[in-house]
Amino acid sequence: SLEACYNLMDFEAVARQVMKKTAWAYYSSGADDEITMRENHAAFHKIWFRPRILVDVEHIDMSTTMLGTKCSIPFYVTATALGKLGHPEGEVVLTRAAHQHNVVQMIPTLASCSFDEILDAKQGDQVQWLQLYVNKDREITRKIVEHAEKRGCKGLFITVDAPQLGRREKDMRSKFSDPGSNVQSGGDNIDRSQGAARAISSFIDPALSWKDIPWFKSITNMPIVLKGVQCVEDVLRAVEAGCDGVVLSNHGGRQLETARSGIEVLAEVMPVLRERGWEKRIEIFVDGGVRRATDIIKALCLGATGIGIGRPFLYAMSAYGLDGVDRAMQLLKDEMEMNMRLIGATSVAELNPSLIDTRGLLGGHSGVVPSDTLGLGAYDPLQ
C-alpha cells in the first residue's frame, strides 16, 4: 500500500509488480550491462558526511535559486519520455504533484502528453523548463522552442548525450507496440520492433554540434543548459559558448555504458571552476541515481545548483498515480530537512565541500564488473 512506501526504492518495487512488462522494460532499462546505471546510485555511497555539531538547527530553509528563479527546493523532476506507459494521464500527473510541492518540472520532448497539455496543467507561478531533442528539421525545433518560451518556460535544456540511441537490451527484447500515444516530433515512420526507445528517436539529429549553440541563443531568451555533459573540458567549453548551465548526466545510464556518474563528474568540475573563479558564470545541475535526500545534499555540498530526479517519480506515478508522486516528494523533503539538521546546516547556502569526505569517490575505478551482472548483461533469464 501507499503508506507502506517509506522511501523512493519502495515505489520502484511496487511499480515493477504492477506495470506492463514492456513499460517496465522501457523505464528501467540501462545501456548494455547496466554498469553505469548501477554506478549512478552506488557513487553516492562513496561520499561520507563530516557533520558539524551544536549548530542551532531548529529552522531549516531548503529554498534556493535555479536559473534566476526562486525555488522552494533544489531538486526537480527531470525529463523522462513516455509518461503514459506508467499512468493513463501521463506527464500531467507529474505537473500536478510538482505544483503541490513547489518543485520545478522539466517537460520532455518525448512526452506522451502534448506540450500544451503539460503547459495547461501548470498552476499559478509554477516553474517549468523544456528539455529538447533537436530535430533534423530545425524549423520544427525553432517552433517548439519559441512556443515553450511564449508559454512561460523558464529554461531550455538541450540534450547532448544522445547523438545515437544506446543499446537498452531489456527494452529491445520487449516487442513494443504502444508508444504511449501522442509522441511529439517522432513522425509515424517508425520501426516498433526493437523497443520503445528506438521507435521514438529517429528524428533526433546526430549532426548537432557546438556550432549550433549561437543559433539557439539567437532564437530564445530562455537560459540555455546543455544536458548530458560528462567532463570538465566540456563544462569549460559551455562557459565559453555562453551557456547558462550544464547538467552533468549520463542519461540515467541509458546511453554510453561505463560513462562516469554525474556526481563523480561534479567532483571533477567544481574545483576547476573555483580555481578559475568561474563558478558564478555557469550553473551546474546533476542527475542520475538519486534516491535519497542524502544524495541531494552531497551534490549540493560539492557545489551543484539543482538535482534532477527521473525514474523514481515515474515509478511512484506508475504505482499510485498522483498520490504516489505526492508521497515520494514529501518523503524526500522530510528526509532532506532531517538530514540537514543532522549535518548541522540550516540552509542550502551553508552546504559546502567541508561537510563531506570524497576520498572514496576520487580513488579511481577498479574496473570490476559488479557481481550481480553475472556476465549476462541486462538479461534476467528467470524473469
Q: Is 161 considered catalytic here?
A: yes
Q: Phi, psi (5° rounding) for residue 69?
A: -110, 135
Q: Is 27 considered catalytic here?
A: no
What are the residues whose beta carbons fall under 8 Å from the beta carbon of 249, sequence distance 6 or more? 161, 227, 228, 229, 230, 262, 285, 286, 287, 288, 308
* Minimum CB distance to ligand HOC, residue 141 (Å): 14
What are the residues whose beta carbons fall under 8 Å from the beta carbon of 150, sequence distance 6 or more? none
C-alpha cell of residue 40? 549512478
| Nearer CB in complex with ligand HOC: 58/188 | 188
Query: Strand, coil or helix: what is 16?
Result: helix
* 107 is an interface residue for ligand HOC by CB under 6 A: no
Site track 22-61 with ligand HOC (rule: CB under 6 A), x = hit: ----------------------------------------
- Residue from 170, 251, 298, 311 in contact with ligand HOC (CB under 6 A): 251
Query: Strand, coil or helix: what is 226?
Result: strand
- Cα gap 273→282, rounded to integer Å: 9
C-alpha cell of residue 348? 542550502
Query: Strand, coil or helix: what is 77?
Result: strand
Number of residues forming the site for ligand HOC (CB under 6 A) = 10
| Nearer CB in complex with ligand HOC: 201/258 | 201
| Nearer CB in complex with ligand HOC: 5/81 | 81
Q: Is 234 considered catalytic here?
A: no
* 191 is an interface residue for ligand HOC by CB under 6 A: no
- Residue from 72, 123, 164, 347 in contact with ligand HOC (CB under 6 A): 164
Out of 27, 33, 244, 251, the active site residue is: 251
- Residue from 15, 77, 127, 204 in contact with ligand HOC (CB under 6 A): 204
Q: Are 311 and 328 in contact (CB under 8 A)?
A: no
Q: Which residues bind ligand HOC (CB under 6 A)?
A: 81, 110, 162, 164-165, 197, 201, 204, 251, 254
Catalytic residue list? 133, 161, 251
